[in-house]
Chain A
Amino acid sequence: DAGITQSPRYKITETGRQVTLMCHQTWSHSYMFWYRQDLGHGLRLIYYSAAADITDKGEVPDGYVVSRSKTENFPLTLESATRSQTSVYFCASSEYTGFWLQPQHFGDGTRLSIL
Chain B
Amino acid sequence: QKEVEQDPGPLSVPEGAIVSLNCTYSNSAFQYFMWYRQYSRKGPELLMYTYSSGNKEDGRFTAQVDKSSKYISLFIRDSQPSDSATYLCAMSLDGGSNYKLTFGKGTLLTVNP
Contacts and interface: CB of A to CB of B under 8 A. Distances in A.
Contacts of B49: 103
B55 interface: no
B42 interface: yes
Contact of A101 (B45, B46, B98, B104): B98
> How many B residues are at the interface, by size bracket?
20 to 34
Contacts of A104: 46, 98, 101
Interface string B80-113: 0000000010000011111111011110000000
Nearest to A31: B99
Contacts, number: 56
Interface residues of A, number: 26
Interface in A60-93: 90, 92
A99 B96 contact: yes
Contacts of B96: 99-101
A45 B46 contact: no
Contacts of A41: 105
A94 interface: yes
Contacts of B100: 45, 58
A92 B99 CA distance: 10
Interface of B: 34, 36, 41-46, 49, 88, 94-101, 103-106
Q: Which 9 A-B pairs have the closest CB atoms?
A: A100-B95, A106-B43, A101-B98, A42-B105, A43-B103, A108-B43, A106-B44, A42-B103, A103-B46
Interface of A: 4, 31, 33, 40-43, 45, 48, 50, 58, 90, 92, 94, 99-109, 111
Given A33-B99, A90-B43, 17 more contacts: A4-B43, A42-B88, A42-B106, A43-B103, A45-B100, A45-B101, A58-B100, A94-B98, A99-B96, A100-B96, A101-B97, A101-B98, A101-B99, A102-B98, A103-B34, A103-B46, A104-B46
